[in-house]
A = this chain, B = another copy of it.
């Protein structure tokens, strides 16, 4: 037996929702499409799965193409496959989301793709069902981050408590009491306080923290409740 007879074959693509954080706001890396259909319209970065690669490999390849980054936090989200979601021909899209340190990506490559970082308030219209993908990714990010410390993936190696709090506040569109927030975060044992201070954001300066990578690796899948009221997340 060489193949399954009588079955239709389809295209399979991978699309990546790429999140970044600029110290103030959560951002999305979008590209201006360079090919038909919908050339010059905004979309998320994607590509077809090649015969020799797995889905995870395809996602990593696509992410690398746009950002130059490897070994990035990448998680499969969902697969979309409505018969008419792509007007040219039926294409299944396996959606991934990626969390990257916005300072690390290759600006050169991303400008070749006409990519830019946009925030959620003023993001452009996207082709096909890409807006839905983004909504899905945002919900999933909230969900996952309410239980696991994944948001650290968005931060640079050294960051201040204020930046971390900004990140959580922006992801959840809320605000936290800084005393309670800092106490809760520190109680996880995930942070190591540095001697060095960030002097950019205030005269007094604020201490940098680094992620305790060992603790992070060990406790990644343990629930860590940083969000007080995780209702209505999905």
Contact = CB atoms under 8 A, between A and B. Distances in A.
Contacts of A1: 36-37, 88
Given A3-B89, A12-B12, A55-B81, 8 more contacts: A1-B36, A1-B88, A8-B48, A8-B50, A49-B81, A51-B90, A222-B232, A223-B230
Contact of A3 (B12, B49, B88): B88
Give the number of copies in the complex.
2
Given A83-B51, A232-B221, A11 B11 contact: no
Contacts of A36: 1
Interface of A: 1-4, 7-12, 36-37, 48-55, 76, 78-83, 88-92, 94, 221-223, 230-234
14 contacts: A2-B89, A3-B88, A4-B11, A7-B11, A9-B9, A10-B12, A12-B12, A12-B81, A49-B81, A51-B90, A53-B83, A222-B231, A222-B232, A223-B233
Contacts of A94: 79, 81, 92
**Mostly helix, strand, loop or mixed at chain A's interface?**
loop
A115 to B, nearest CB: 21
Contact of A48 (B7, B12, B53): B7
